[in-house]
Amino acid sequence: MKYLCLDFGGTGVKYAIIDENFQLYDVNKENKIFQSHDEMITWVVDLFKTIHMKLSGIAISYCGEMNPFTGLIKNGGSYRFNDNKNIKQILWSKCHVPVSIENDGNCAALAELYRGSLKETSNGAVLVLGTGVGCAIIINGELYRGCNYFAGAATFSLIDSKHDFDWQNTFGLIGGVGYLTRNYEKRFALERNSIDGLAFFNKANHNDIASLEILRDYTKNLARYIFNMQMLLDLENISIGGGISTQPLLLTMLKKEVSDLFDCIPVPVTPPEIKVCHYYNDANLIGAFCWYKKANF
C-alpha cells in the first residue's frame, strides 16, 4: 500500500508518496504560500485526485500546534486561518481515506526516534532549523507533547528577560534560517530576499569572512539554547534537522560552540551529543508516516 505524505512549512509545502517500508517516491516541493483555509484544502484534495495510483491514506506534518489525536489545530502557525480547524476530519470526509496530522517538530522527532539518529535514545530532542525553530522532546523513549500539546514550541521562547513578548524578542527570530540571510543582507545593504540559505553557505564554505562571522553568531545562539535545554532536561542527544542540517560546516561550528559553553561552567555537567538528523530535511515526511501508522493501526 502507498500513502500521500505532506509537510506544510512556513514558506512552502513538500510532498511525496511513501510505502509501508518507509521508502519515499516522487519527492516534490512547491514554494507556495496559501492565502486561505479553503485554498489549502482544495490544493490537497486536487493533489490527491491527480496522483494516478491507489492511495490508502494521508499523513501530514504541519507547522503549528494541534491535538494529534483529534486533529484539531490550536495554533495555525504560519497559516493562522487554520486556528480551531480540523484538517484531519475535513480531508478524511473529502478524500475518503484515513488522515493523520502532527506538529512538524514532533514529526522529525518521531522519524529519528523510531528509525534514525535517536533510535537508541531514552532522553533526547530534535531541533529543526527552518523559517522558525521546531523542537521536540523525547522522555523515557516517548515523545513528550505536554498537557496542551505545546511542548517544544521553541520559536516562542523569549531571549531577553527585559522585554515583554514580541517577535523581535523570540528564539524563532535568531534561531531560524532567516537570521543568516537577513544579517548578511543588512551588512551589505542588499535588498531583502536577495540571498538564500544555499548562497549564504556557499560563501561561508569558501571562507567569506562576513558570512563566517554571522554563522558563528548564529551557532552561539543555538548553543545557548541547547545549554538551557540541557540544564532543564539532562538529555543524551540532540539532533539537528532542517534544510541547513546538510551543511557540515554548521554542525562543526555548533559542536565547538556547545563544547566551549559547557567548558565555562564550574560544575561537571555532561553536554548532550550533537547529531544531525538521519533523514535530514525528509524527517518531517518520514515522521508524519510514523505517526500515521501509530494512530491508525
* Tens digits of residue pLDDT in 206-225: 999 999 999 999 999 999 99
Look at the pTM and tell me if it is higher than 0.85.
yes
pLDDT in tens, 151-170: 988 888 887 766 677 777 78
When pLDDT is cut at 50, 70 and 90, the band that residue 55 belongs to is: very high
* Helix pair angle (209-233, 197-205), 10° resolution: 110
Q: Tell me the H-state helices in 188-242.
A: 197-205, 209-233
Distances (CA, A) of 214 to 121, 175, 211, 250, 289: 32, 12, 5, 11, 36
Per-residue model confidence as pLDDT tens digits over 72-114: 999 998 899 999 999 999 999 999 999 999 999 999 999 999 9
Predicted local distance difference test score (pLDDT) of residue 121 = 95
Quick one: pLDDT at residue 162? 66
Q: Is 168 exposed, middle or buried (0-12, 13-18, 19+ CB in 10 A)?
A: exposed
pLDDT-above-90 percentage for the chain = 81
Query: Average pLDDT of 42-60?
Result: 95
**Mean pLDDT of the residues in the chain:** 93
Which DSSP string corresponds to 228-264? Answer: HHHHHH--SEEEEESGGGG-HHHHHHHHHHHHHHHHT
Alpha-carbon distance 134 to 128, whole Å?
5
Backbone dihedral region for residue 137 (phi beyond 0: left; psi -120 to 50: alpha; all else: beta): beta
For the chain, domains (ranges, CATH) are 2-107+281-294 (3.30.420.40), 119-276 (3.30.420.40)
